[in-house]
Structure 1
Amino acid sequence: MSGLGRLFGRGKKEKGPTPEEAIQKLKETEKILIKKQEFLEQKIEQELQAAKKHGTKNKRAALQALRRKKRLEQQLAQTDGTLSTLEFQREAIENATTNAEVLRTMELAAQGLKKAYQDMDIDKVDELMADITEQQEVAQQISDAISRPVGFGDDVDEDELLEELEELEQEELARELLHVGDEEEEPPVALPSAPSTHLPAEPAPKADEDEAELKQLAEVAESPVGVRSTSSVYQNEQLSRTHHGKKAHPAPPVF
């Protein structure tokens, strides 16, 4: 670059700082201004105490302290304004950086979407859907053709088959009715004859035999002649029963 170019300011332009560098520089400057604010506040408090100390004793010194305090307050106000401006700039750059990042992301997303659809158009999509529908119809026709029954006898009349089946059912029903009639006409089965021999008579109960003996003894006892003989007859009966294993009854009283 010639000296003439440098003289008229047509030299090479310096590359400006990035947003990140600018934000970092602003933060460093803000820290410096905050420290200056703290220093000025301390000095203002010192001058105020000096003015109070001198008061009426040294009026000249008190006025000088108040003048210094006033200048410090002006510097503090300027520093506050500068700090506010720096904070505003930093926030603006941060917002701009965020917006730029969002914009770049949206641009990348748009490019990706465009690339995804670069080989597609609505005509191709409609054609593809028509092909899919046609292939589905062909597949359904093939399935119907495969599942259709094939073989001999497809020309047989279904009504004829039903009539033949009905005739067979009628023949079977007539055969069953005929078989039932034959069973009803069968001769009765001969039963065995009753036995001709007589069964032995059932022995009389022992209670009837004892009752007959007691009746006989009562008749003898009613006779005057046979009162005494009744006792001997009854004793003989008791002996006879004892001999044959029968239980003896007590002798009746003699009147």
Structure 2
Amino acid sequence: MNLFFGKAKSKTTAKDAIYKLRETLGMLEKRQTFLETKAENELKIARLNATKNRRVALMALKRKKAYESNIEKINGARMTIETQMMAIENANVNLETMGAMRAGAEAMKNIHGSMDIDKVDATMDDIRDQMDVANEISEAISRPVGMGEDLDEDDLLNELEELEQEELDAKMLETPSPVVSAPNVPNSKPAYKQPVVEEDDEEAELRALQASIAM
């Protein structure tokens, strides 16, 4: 135990640091707003007394300058805090990224812990052997049983020749002798076409007149 400084400080996390910096930043913003209001009031006093009371106007301008000096310091502190917050956030992102990558590496190591290249090669050899056995079994199953094992090829050829000769003999017996046919003579008489008597215009007009009288 440290007798002079009390308990040792706990390790500050990135989350705690960012929270504290944001809290400080908010306090500085409120302080800056307050000082800006004070500076504007002093400027108003100086304007009102510029021609009436010179001494009061000068004192008001001095106080305004003091307020503005503090405002500039606060602006610098705010910029520093914002930069520090950004750096901590980036560092925290990098830390989380490295943690995730480290966890991934550990997971891969655990997965590969029970594997090596010799075991993988042996497993692949077993798979290939079993695939060969499966192909042999498939071929054996698909091969016809009892077809062509006890038959003599010469006997089959002789039987085939006999069948071919029988077919040729049958075709020769079925072929008829050629018959000479007489030329075709048409029996029907040519149709007689009666002449068409053309009717002149006068006869046509007369017929039309007779028809109109009959009506």
Give TM class, smaller chain. 0.7 to 0.9
User: Relative CO higher for 1 or 2, CA cutoff 8 Å, sep ≥ 6?
Assistant: 2
Identity %: 49
SS in 1 for 2:51: coil
The reply on whether 1:64 has 2:71 as its aligned counterpart is no
Under a length normalisation based on structure 2, what TM-score does the superposition of the two structures give? 0.73
CA distance in 1, matches of 2:44, 2:96: 53
The reply on whether 1:162 has 2:174 as its aligned counterpart is no
* Residue matched to 1:6: 3
SS in 2 for 1:113: helix
SS in 1 for 2:113: coil
SS in 2 for 1:6: coil
1:89 corresponds, among 75, 84, 87, to 84
2:35 corresponds, among 34, 40, 43, to 40
Give 1:80 deviation, angstroms. 0.7
Give 1:159 deviation, angstroms. 4.3
SS in 2 for 1:117: helix
Unmatched tracts of structure 1, length 5 or more: 185-255
Bigger radius of gyration among the two: 1
Q: What's the CA shift string for 1:184-231, capped at 9, x where partnerless?
A: 8xxxxxxxxxxxxxxxxxxxxxxxxxxxxxxxxxxxxxxxxxxxxxxx
Give 1:78 deviation, angstroms. 0.8
Give 1:157 deviation, angstroms. 3.2
Under a length normalisation based on structure 1, what TM-score does the superposition of the two structures give? 0.63
Alignment RMSD: 2.2
Between the two proteins, the alignment pairs up a number of residues equal to 177
1:31 corresponds, among 26, 42, 66, to 26
CA distance in 2, matches of 1:130, 1:14: 61
* Residue matched to 2:118: 123
Give 1:28 deviation, angstroms. 1.5
Q: What's the CA shift string for 1:135-186, capped at 9, x where partnerless?
A: 11122122222333332752433343133112123124324534x48x98xx
The reply on whether 1:149 has 2:158 as its aligned counterpart is no
Give 1:108 deviation, angstroms. 1.4
Unmatched tracts of structure 2, length 5 or more: 178-215
Counterpart amino acid of residue 113 in structure 1: M
Give 1:119 deviation, angstroms. 0.9
CA distance in 2, matches of 1:65, 1:17: 45
Give 1:51 deviation, angstroms. 1.3
* Residue matched to 2:45: 50
- Alpha-carbon spacing, 1:152–1:96, altered in 2? closer, same or farther (3 Å): closer
CA distance in 1, matches of 2:157, 2:55: 141
CA distance in 2, matches of 1:46, 1:151: 118
- Alpha-carbon spacing, 1:37–1:159, altered in 2? closer, same or farther (3 Å): farther
* Residue matched to 1:139: 134
User: Runs of 4 or more off by more than 3 Å in structure 1?
Assistant: 175-178
Counterpart amino acid of residue 27 in structure 2: I
Give 1:100 deviation, angstroms. 1.4
CA distance in 2, matches of 1:68, 1:152: 120
